[in-house]
Structure 1
Amino acid sequence: MAAHRPSLILILAVLFACGALLTSHSVEAKPVQPKTALRKRTARNTAPAGALVVSKSPSSGQFSTVQAAVNALPNDGSEQTIFIESGTYDEQVYIDRSGMLTIMGETADTSNYESNVVTISNSLSATAAGSDDLSGTLRVHKDDFALYNVNVKNTFGQGSQALALSAYGTNHGYYGSGFYSYQDTVLAEQGAQFYGYCYIEGAVDFIFGQHGFAFFQRTTIASIGPGAITADGPASKTDGLFVINESTIEQSSAATEDLTGLVFLGRPWTEFATASPSSVFTPCSVAYTSCTLGSVINSAGWEEWSSTEPNTEDVTFAEYDNGGPGSEGTRASFATKITSNADYTAAAVLGSDWTSWVDQGYVDQ
């Protein structure tokens, strides 16, 4: 009888093979999610496991400043998270650590910027700092970065460029965050960058850059004074593109005057437009698609860089399917209304792999 009984080794081998098949099947059936994917519209009151904690309360957090937490990160390419508890942190933050870094602000509602209770604030002009980048309240000089529900402010005011965000890197995601300044609020300088359900406030050239490919999704863009919203300055016809999609353009509640007709969608920092990916449509360096344009927008839509240096010879700005009072009027000669946005989707702007690093919870409601 013993000769006909299966050996223990054979039984274990069969069980191991079955387990391997089941495991393989379950992995294949499960969709791959971006590493930074979070559940939108839920509170984030406590730090995720393993995160470095920044707090105004000495008994609560490991660090009292954001920069101290950044400095404590290992520079070994590993994935790291910083969680910031409620409060205003008066400091300038510089980030250059390697590896994926996610910074999360405490909030009662992650869906957009409206419930944000974390602010990083600084007051520094580019004149005093020595350059636009050096004036930034938050300076991100790295690839693979995500920011959730943090307000970033440069409170310098009028008189000089003064950045809230200076973003040098690719695969940057900004979610439910607010950026506040007067001139040159957000510098999207290089790489692929996504801004979802954010708030951006300023007056002059307050979304600008030269080599960045940035997509702004369902973002509120609010003017606090007269001027152009965007100033894109590509160095060639294949360098740099901003697309603002399904967003709202309005007057900031902090504006001290009526801005009706005093705001422009953009002006050309350089004389180049960026060729669309398929070269089907007219090249452009900035496009507004399916946006609601408030009465602050001038009927010409776009303006020259200056009377002595218009920079309009090789530049075209595009609009598609916009609504609101600011979408009406005779546009400037270097602007066009396109009949399709196929070349200005997130995939076209950010690259075919964009879903692997953009949190899809901030693409649509």
Structure 2
Amino acid sequence: MQFSQLFLFIFMVLVITCNVCESQNCANPPKTIIVSKSSKANFETIQSAIDSVPEQNSQWIHIQISSGVYKEQVQVPMNKPCIYLEGAGSKSTSIEWGDHLNATFFSKANYTIANGITFTNSLNTPDQIAITQAVAARIHADKCAFFNCAFLGVQDTLYDDFGRHYYHNCYIQGGVDFIFGNGQSIFEASQLYFSMGKDGPKRNGCFTAQERESPNDTSGFVFKNCSLNGTGGHAILGRSLKAYARVIIANSFLSDVVSPEGWNARTFVGQEKTITFVEEGNYGPGANKSKRVNWVKHLSGHELDQFLDISFIDKEGWFARLPAKIFI
């Protein structure tokens, strides 16, 4: 009896804690921390600045990162939400590491925001023939956004793992499944660039690999007003890592790097009815759908708008509460 009461108490605490985390909003004004290799900085590494953030943080922490190449792996723990990482621009501030097992940048915290930073996994060197997984960024958290950032790698560059995310004016480069995962995400006004790396092997590849698992799974990748191009071969737009994969590409430029067939069911041949791959309103030499696989879906009107609208990732209004400085 005592054990049952103790178990019930622990369960209720966990439920309350989870509810608090889910409903968390980040308070303004933000507290600013400076990361730089100069003596005037609060910290010399990005990870040490994140480590200084208190657990269960509820105030925006603005980590301002000076120009430079930061050769470190960076992790944002689940219990440190409300962190805004601002670099000096994606051409000036970069986080670089080369690792097969771990991402260069990994966030588990809700309300992780980044602006003007390049995330690079340098594992696959130009002269390497055997390409392997090397994740530049993994996002396993809800209500996260990336503005003016770059993600560089070859295989599995951006692991859009879990949660609702927004990417604006970002540059994402890779060759094999270089945007993959089970995220519920909008990519807007961004460039997807197919490449096996400078002087890398000339082979075909794939832009996306989505992992939606069931008809009740709300995840999916939405690309609107984007540019898909590249060099060194051809790439399909996406392949299904799970049976209900969902990718929508709309009002975007598709170069001739896009393979005519467009999509691949992978191990789900014969089950294509559950896969939602959509192309609407695109243009460019790669947008010709005459040779596409015959199971690509067509959406229009409200059916399409429900994915293109910001409400696809933001029914609660969290997006409008991001730090105003992001939009200046």
TM-score category by the smaller chain?
0.7 to 0.9
Residue 143 of structure 1 corresponds to which residue in structure 2? 110
Q: Cα 1:294–1:310, aligned 2, differ >3 Å: closer, same or farther? A: farther
Output the CA distance in 2 between the equivalents of 1:327 and 1:362.
33
Q: List structure 1 segments (4+ residues) > 3 angstroms apart after TM superposition.
A: 34-37, 308-313, 357-363
Matches within 5 A, 1:143-292: 143-157=110-124, 159-210=131-182, 212-225=183-196, 226-239=204-217, 240-251=219-230, 255=231, 257=232, 259=233, 262-273=234-245, 285-292=246-253
Output the CA distance in 1 between the equivalents of 2:271 and 2:281.
26
Output the CA distance in 1 between the equivalents of 2:220 and 2:157.
17
CA contact (8 A) 2:85 2:113 kept: yes
Q: Secondary structure at the match of 2:48?
A: helix
Matches within 5 A, 1:35-184: 50-57=31-38, 59-79=39-59, 80-96=61-77, 97-107=79-89, 113=90, 116-125=91-100, 129=101, 135-157=102-124, 159-184=131-156
Q: Secondary structure at the match of 2:120?
A: strand
Deviation at 1:271, TM superposition (A): 1.2
Q: Cα 1:188–1:219, aligned 2, differ >3 Å: closer, same or farther? A: same
Output the CA distance in 2 between the equivalents of 1:190 and 1:315.
19
Matches within 5 A, 1:269-348: 269-273=241-245, 285-305=246-266, 312-328=272-288, 329-340=290-301, 341-348=304-311
Q: Secondary structure at the match of 1:267?
A: strand
CA contact (8 A) 2:27 2:58 kept: no
The partner residue of 1:353 within 316, 321, 328 is 316
Deviation at 1:161, TM superposition (A): 1.0
Q: Which amino acid aligns with 2:320?
A: S
Q: Aligned Cα RMSD in Å? A: 2.6
Residue 16 of structure 2 corresponds to which residue in structure 1? none
Residue 19 of structure 2 corresponds to which residue in structure 1? none
CA contact (8 A) 2:86 2:115 kept: yes
> TM-score scaled by structure 2?
0.80
CA contact (8 A) 1:203 1:228 kept: yes
Unaligned runs of 5+ in 1: 1-33, 38-47, 108-112, 130-134, 274-284
Deviation at 1:78, TM superposition (A): 2.7
Output the CA distance in 1 between the equivalents of 2:271 and 2:96.
34
CA contact (8 A) 1:83 1:103 kept: yes
CA deviation profile, 1:162-195 (whole Å, cap 9, x unmatched): 1011001111010000001111111111111000
Percent of paired sites with the same residue: 24
Q: Secondary structure at the match of 1:206?
A: strand
Q: Secondary structure at the match of 1:265?
A: strand
Q: How many residues align?
A: 285
Residue 9 of structure 2 corresponds to which residue in structure 1? none
CA contact (8 A) 2:26 2:58 kept: no
Output the CA distance in 2 between the equivalents of 1:139 and 1:319.
30
Q: Secondary structure at the match of 2:163?
A: strand
Q: Cα 1:179–1:71, aligned 2, differ >3 Å: closer, same or farther? A: same
Deviation at 1:60, TM superposition (A): 2.7
CA contact (8 A) 2:86 2:117 kept: yes
